[in-house]
Chains A and B, each alone.
Chain A
Amino acid sequence: MLLKRRKSDASGPPEPLPERWKMFGDEDPEIVLGGHSNAACYVIARDSGLGPRSVRAGIAYPADFGAVDDSYWDFLATAGAGRAIAVVWDGNQHNGAFLVQPDPPFRVYGCSSVATPEQEAGRWIPRAMVSSYWEPSFADLGRTLDRLVERSRVLVVGTPPPNPEAHVRERFEGKLDWDPWIRDIASTREQASSELPVSPESLRLALWSIIQEGMREQARRAGCTFVAVPDSVRDDAGLLAAPYSAGDLTHANAEYAGVMWAEIEAALSSGEER
């Protein structure tokens, strides 16, 4: 339990704070998983018996499933001391910045398997420039890892690929109008919320792959293991396969977390990058 001093009586007995951070799962875990909102599905997966199967696991997460802050990482470092820690870091940057088609449009080459259709418009932006754009997030991850590795073996877990356009479009249709800010912007553009231009799948995939590369690089630099998202949760285009979507725009579900738990367990036992 967290405690704080009363303002009016610094010498008096501490008053209890509501517990903001909670350890879900095993009381004596071999591995503690934690991170931003993409870590939530791991709580549900464990509660649903979808994983992990061979290790005792705890998930350090906000008790109210809300946002984390600096003190959360203190909690995770303490909870994971002497154990393995799996970090699920951010992973929504591509949606937060570029879910709606940028103006003017741009393209990013997918150096891996992701091809950009020739008919798509926009200038090419170097992948290295996009990576630099997200460098503050990567640097924060790096600093966090440097701290965690002092007392734990640390794994960095890949984050869900972007959803197919049809799924995003479905979310846009009528389900965003409850937000007056989005409604006003759409109105200013003389568009309905459902007509807001979604960035092409190829762009969102390329952006996602840059985020994965950035996390992999930070993991390598800090001496951590990177656990990549396997092809089994991706469709033929490389996007998040429908059975693994949480239904919203950005997150994956417990089935996805079950697959990832298996990847984490395998990495934990082999000691090799997945």
Chain B
Amino acid sequence: MTEHPYRSQPARAFWSRSVAKDFAAGAMTVGPEPLLRRGDRVASAGSCFASNMVPWLESSGLLYVRTEDPHPAFAHLPENLGYRSFSAAYGNVYTARHLRQLLERASGDFQPAEDRWHEDEGVIDPFRPGLRYRAGCDEEFDLLTRQHLRATLDAFNEATVLVFTLGLTEGWESTLDGAVYPACPGTVAGEFDPSRHRFHNFSAEEVRADLVEFIRRLRETNPGVRVILTVSPVPLVATATEQHVVVASSYSKAVLRVAAGETAASMPDVSYFPALEIVTGPQAPHDYLAEDRRSVTEAGITEVMQTLIAASDLPEHGAPPAEAQPVGDPERSPQMDLSRRIAEADCDEVLVES
């Protein structure tokens, strides 16, 4: 029998030996170094699927970088989905172009021409259109936005590892300067104007170029940062193309997968983690997706996170807390108790004096 390259391949290289039988998701992660290490400070960005990993990371003893937590006095107030799910309050970042432009804006290298929308309820950030608490005027908007972008830059620079989960290739951009929005104007907020807004379906080469440029810029100020790229297994909720949404999703995920793989292969300290394959690969159990065949179930998320943690060197292999604990109970703030007591005491004193 002749020698050939496949003879030396491990079992994971063969479908018959690693999928048809003895499947183990952990075998899908390759590389000599653990993905996450003790002492890592992890920041993350990406689609809504990416937010699932935060409680797992924190319960595993890692420091999850948070630079824009709500003030304790106001932490009990609700925020809309996504804006408290990541290291800073940028919300969901679905496209690589959005991530690249976010860093460029935070660095002061890009100022989008259409950077705010004025509505009756206040001034809206087109790049965070779902924010619950909107600025009341342009001056307040400028202050809040500058503060947010500083926090974003801090998060990116404090991290030893940045995890980015690619979500979409379909995006909406400004015709003025190519600024990419997280949602089509007019859906979450704002108004769609075909003279100012256009659809763009990013190619694999565009996504790869955006990822490379993002990482290059990031390493200008945080040279040692490692990057883990993943692709969200969640299909498109809708497509703006003429395709069926399943076909459009397949295209989108394929593009993102190619771009992530090529970026990881071409840059040092950039890894690809196969969340997409774990949840949607042919080996994946039916119950990793809910009945709508779009939502990832707890079982799917658990498999993804246990695989990531197993591929890491962490102090603990914990599971996420069953329920998020409320934070920032205003009744427990000593300054607020003191303010209340002083105001009451002084009133009482006036009555005593009267």
Q: Which residues of A contact B (CB under 8 A)?
A: 37, 65, 92, 95-104, 106, 109, 111, 123-130, 132-133, 171-172, 175-176, 178-179, 181-182, 185, 196, 246-251
- Cβ contact within 8 Å between B144 and A247: no
Known: A125-B74, A133-B74, A182-B342. A109 touches B347 (CB 8 A): no
Known: A100-B335, A111-B137, A124-B143. A37 touches B347 (CB 8 A): yes
- Cβ contact within 8 Å between A95 and B339: yes
Known: A111-B137, A175-B349. A182 touches B77 (CB 8 A): no
- Cβ contact within 8 Å between A97 and B346: no
Chain B residue nearest to A116 (CB atoms) is B143
Among B283-341, those with CB < 8 Å from A are 330, 333-341
Q: Which chain A residues border B344 with CB–CB below 8 Å?
A: 96
When chains A and B are docked, how far (Å) is the Cα of A176 from the Cα of B342? 7
Known: A98-B339, A102-B336. A129 touches B74 (CB 8 A): yes
When chains A and B are docked, how far (Å) is the Cα of A100 from the Cα of B144? 24
Known: A97-B339, A102-B335. A251 touches B347 (CB 8 A): yes
Among B206-235, those with CB < 8 Å from A are none
User: Could you pull out 15 A-B pairs where Cβ atoms are within 8 angstroms?
Assistant: A65-B351, A96-B339, A99-B342, A101-B335, A103-B335, A111-B139, A124-B140, A125-B74, A128-B133, A179-B341, A179-B345, A182-B342, A185-B341, A249-B342, A251-B350
Q: Which of B71, B337, B351 contacts A106 (CB 8 A)?
A: B71
When chains A and B are docked, how far (Å) is the Cα of A98 from the Cα of B339? 6
Chain A residue nearest to B142 (CB atoms) is A109
Number of interface residues of B (CB under 8 A): 36
**New A-B pairs, 4, CB < 8 Å, besides A92-B343, A181-B341, A185-B337:** A96-B343, A100-B335, A126-B135, A182-B338
Residue B200 at the A interface, CB < 8 A? no
- Cβ contact within 8 Å between A248 and B143: no
Q: Which chain A residues border B73 with CB–CB below 8 Å?
A: 97-98, 102, 106, 133
- Cβ contact within 8 Å between A130 and B74: yes
Q: Which of A104, A127, A196, A251 contacts B136 (CB 8 A)?
A: A127
Residue B39 at the A interface, CB < 8 A? no
Query: Which secondary structure dominates chain B's binding surface?
Result: helix
Chain B residue nearest to A188 (CB atoms) is B334
| Cβ-Cβ contact count across A and B, 8 Å cutoff | 122
Q: Which residues of B contact A (CB under 8 A)?
A: 71-74, 77, 122, 132-137, 139-140, 143-144, 147, 330, 333-347, 349-351
Q: Which chain B residues border A104 with CB–CB below 8 Å?
A: 71-72
Q: Which chain A residues border B340 with CB–CB below 8 Å?
A: 96-97
Q: How far is the CB of A229 from chain B (nearest CB, A)?
A: 19
When chains A and B are docked, how far (Å) is the Cα of A127 from the Cα of B338? 23
Known: A97-B339, A102-B71, A185-B334. A124 touches B346 (CB 8 A): no
The 10 closest A-B pairs by CB, nearest first: A126-B133, A129-B133, A99-B339, A128-B133, A109-B140, A179-B345, A249-B346, A95-B343, A248-B350, A100-B339
Q: How far is the CB of A223 from chain B (nearest CB, A)?
A: 19
Q: Which chain A residues border B347 with CB–CB below 8 Å?
A: 37, 248-251
Q: Which chain B residues border A128 with CB–CB below 8 Å?
A: 122, 132-136
- Cβ contact within 8 Å between B147 and A133: no
- Cβ contact within 8 Å between B341 and A111: no
Q: Which of B137, B147, B338 contacts A124 (CB 8 A)?
A: B147
Chain B residue nearest to A102 (CB atoms) is B335
When chains A and B are docked, how far (Å) is the Cα of A103 from the Cα of B330? 12
- Cβ contact within 8 Å between B140 and A185: no
Q: Which chain B residues border A37 with CB–CB below 8 Å?
A: 347
When chains A and B are docked, how far (Å) is the Cα of A5 from the Cα of B132? 51
Q: Which of B77, B144, B333, B343 contacts A250 (CB 8 A)?
A: B343
Q: How far is the CB of A122 from chain B (nearest CB, A)?
A: 9
When chains A and B are docked, how far (Å) is the Cα of A193 from the Cα of B280? 63
Q: Which chain A residues border B345 with CB–CB below 8 Å?
A: 176, 178-179, 181-182
Q: Which of A101, A126, A178, A185 contacts B144 (CB 8 A)?
A: A126
When chains A and B are docked, how far (Å) is the Cα of A130 from the Cα of B347? 24
